[in-house]
Amino acid sequence: MNTPAPPEPDHDSGPFWVALDEERIVLQRCAGCDRLRFPPIGRCPWCREPRSTWTPVDGRGRVYSWTVVHHAFEPAFADDVPYVVATVDLDDGPRIALRCAGVPDFGTRVSPAFVRHDGWTELRVVPDA
């Protein structure tokens, strides 16, 4: 099996990737409007404030929607197809897209799962029992 290409953390996303390596999730909380945002970016998409604070979240949420991937665009995941990519509304606010174990339904409760690769950690979700 190939190793998936690692992310390329930048000034805005570095703390997010470091936290995942520690099996924690942190999101930017806007210093202007107090909203959490994802993905990590340099300015708030609602109020354009550049300042933010990295805030821990538990990564639990509900599936908003999902798709089944039949063609792996990342060769390292070719042996995994078909797999599910879900959009999840985190309990803490933002909607994120990530891989989901199994096939969920609309509103399925999910929890985070940290998948280690060579040199980086991927955030996924698993449906709650």
Q: Which residues bind Zn ion (CB under 5 A)?
A: 30, 32-33, 44, 46-47, 49
CB of 77 to Zn ion, least distance (A): 34
Query: Is the Cβ of residue 47 or residue 78 nearer to Zn ion in the bound state?
Result: 47
Looking at the Cβ atoms of 28 and 108, the one nearer to Zn ion is 28
Minimum distance between the CB of residue 37 and Zn ion, rounded to whole angstroms? 8
Q: Least distance in Å: CB of 90 to Zn ion?
A: 17
- d(CA 104, CA 119) in angstroms, rounded, equals 29
Exposure string of 59-95, with b = 16+ CB inside 10 Å and e = fewer, is: bbbbbbebeebeeeeeeebeeeeebbebebbbebebe
Nearer to Zn ion, 40 or 112 (CB): 40
- Check: CB of residue 120 under 8 Å from CB of residue 7: yes
Q: Least distance in Å: CB of 117 to Zn ion?
A: 32
Rounded to whole angstroms, the maximal C-alpha distance in the chain is 45
Q: Is 104 exposed, middle or buried (0-12, 13-18, 19+ CB in 10 A)?
A: buried
Cβ closest to Zn ion, residue 57 vs residue 125:
57
Question: Order of strands across the sheet with 36-37?
Answer: 36-37, 25-30, 52-57
